[in-house]
């Protein structure tokens, strides 16, 4: 449905997107996840034809978004982060205007507008001026304009930004409903939001796609990584000797905690709960454990690790390999990239578009 191949965007010497490739298949809700300034809006603006790329290609149902924009854009409805609304129009007037701007047949305009209003549940405000609507309703109107023409693909950039908790829940429910009849791509910097509505997550950081898979696969692949943290009265040599008999341990890190104690962090590559074996290993050496906690690596952990800093060398690849995320050269498959370079600069992620291109 959508093929993004080796997409790059540079502003002079600065790189906003760096060789991004992925496929979007029909019938799914995709979440483009990353911190502010990671390149999410830049990616969406290029996919929708609102912004040119420096390198790469975007095909929508076989049509190049830059070579055949009119044919490609017929398949896409787009809601940018700032909805392109005309405040002095009523909701119905605005959606009618959008339908005309999209080239809808005169006989079909009324039905398209009515269907968009029904799908987004804004019938009760259809006759009101947009400037008098709440933020949540304005966001619904923005989604309604994206639905005009019944495009196969709906692209939503930060659809819940600035909404209160109740409005966020309502928009999430609406996105789930849209996912039953459309392919949806949404961007967000909030992990919980993406996990709540999406069945495929793409993580972008510093302009590079660093992970792509279903939430379930990401979590199951990471489930094997267990960390144990403890405080123990022992020397580092004694700690390593005691733990040497536990074969599933892959990494031991020790640091001085004062008063003759060490803070010890243990990482394992298996699913075994090793706390009992650790306890008896130190009992045999008559070395007291003062504190012992355990945690499994979560989706939040991998997101923070992949996006919290700009990796150098093989940092990202090393973490991915340790965590167990599969790497695949196919853009649409489970996908990880190393050396996530680029610039974490929110100014590069600003939307470059006109009212006409938004519609």
Surface-to-core class of residue 40, CB atoms within 10 Å of its CB (0-12 exposed, 13-18 middle, 19+ buried):
buried
For the cut 70, the answer to whether the pLDDT of residue 273 exceeds it is: yes
214-253: pLDDT as tens digits: 887 776 655 556 789 999 999 999 999 999 989 888 889 9
- Is 224-296 in the same CATH topology as 2-215+315-358? no
Q: Please, what is the average pLDDT of the chain? A: 84
Neighbours of 229 (CB within 10 A): 15
For the cut 90, the answer to whether the pLDDT of residue 156 exceeds it is: yes
The Cα–Cα gap between 266 and 253 comes to 7
43-97: pLDDT as tens digits: 999 999 999 999 999 999 999 999 999 999 999 999 998 899 999 999 999 999 9
- Helix/strand/coil for 28: coil
Residues above pLDDT 70, as percent of the chain: 80
- Reading the block at residue 6, the tokens are 């080796």
**Does domain 224-296 bear CATH number 1.10.260.40?**
no
Where would I find the H helices in 59-200?
69-73, 91-101, 106-119, 135-147, 165-179, 191-197
Class of domain 2-215+315-358: alpha beta
Domain ranges for the chain, please list them. 2-215+315-358, 224-296
Q: By C-alpha distance, which of 83, 62, 58 is closest to 7?
A: 58
Q: What is the pTM of this model?
A: 0.70
Torsion sign, CA atoms 324, 327, 333, 334: positive
Structure confidence at residue 296 (pLDDT): 66
Structure confidence at residue 337 (pLDDT): 38
**Is 152:1 a contact under the CB 8 Å cutoff?**
yes
299-307 helix and 215-222 helix, angle to the nearest 10 degrees: 90
302-341: pLDDT as tens digits: 677 677 766 444 444 444 444 444 334 444 444 433 333 3
Write phi, then psi, for 44 (nearest 5 degrees): -65, -40
For the cut 90, the answer to whether the pLDDT of residue 297 exceeds it is: no
Strands 153-157 and 76-79: parallel
For the cut 90, the answer to whether the pLDDT of residue 105 exceeds it is: yes
Which positions ≥6 away from 241 have C-beta within 8 Å?
Answer: 285
């Amino acid at each position: 449905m959508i093929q993004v191949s080796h997409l790059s965007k540079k502003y002079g010497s600065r790189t906003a997107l760096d060789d991004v490739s992925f496929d979007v298949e029909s019938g799914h809700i995709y979440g483009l996840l990353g911190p502010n300034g990671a390149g999410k809006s830049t990616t969406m603006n290029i996919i929708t034809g609102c912004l040119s790329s420096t390198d790469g290609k975007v095909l929508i149902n076989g049509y190049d978004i830059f070579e055949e924009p009119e044919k490609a854009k017929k398949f896409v409805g787009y809601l940018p982060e700032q909805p392109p609304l005309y405040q002095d129009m009523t909701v119905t007037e605005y959606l009618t205007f959008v339908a005309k701007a999209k080239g809808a047949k005169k006989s079909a305009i009324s039905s398209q507008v009515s269907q968009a209003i029904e799908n987004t549940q804004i019938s009760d405000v259809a006759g009101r001026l947009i400037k008098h609507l709440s933020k949540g309703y304005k966001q619904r109107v923005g989604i309604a304009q994206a639905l005009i023409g019944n495009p196969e693909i709906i692209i939503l950039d930060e659809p819940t930004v600035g909404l209160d908790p109740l409005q966020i829940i309502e928009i999430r429910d609406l996105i789930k409903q849209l996912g039953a009849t459309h392919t949806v791509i949404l961007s967000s910097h909030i992990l919980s939001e993406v996990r709540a509505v999406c069945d495929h997550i793409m993580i972008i950081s510093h302009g590079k796609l660093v992970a792509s898979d279903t939430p379930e696969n990401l979590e199951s692949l990471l489930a094997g990584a267990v960390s144990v943290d403890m405080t123990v009265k022992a020397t580092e040599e004694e700690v390593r000797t005691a733990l040497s008999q536990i074969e599933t341990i892959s990494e031991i890190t020790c640091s001085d905690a004062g008063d003759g104690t060490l803070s010890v962090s243990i990482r394992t590559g298996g699913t075994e709960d090793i706390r009992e074996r650790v306890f008896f290993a130190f009992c045999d050496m008559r070395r007291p454990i003062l504190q012992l906690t355990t945690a499994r690596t979560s989706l939040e952990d991998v997101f923070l690790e992949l996006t919290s800093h700009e990796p150098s060398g093989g940092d990202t690849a090393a973490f991915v390999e340790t965590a167990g995320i599969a790497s695949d050269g196919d853009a649409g498959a489970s996908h990880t990239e190393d050396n996530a370079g680029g610039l974490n600069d929110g100014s590069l992620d600003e939307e470059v578009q006109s009212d006409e291109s938004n519609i």
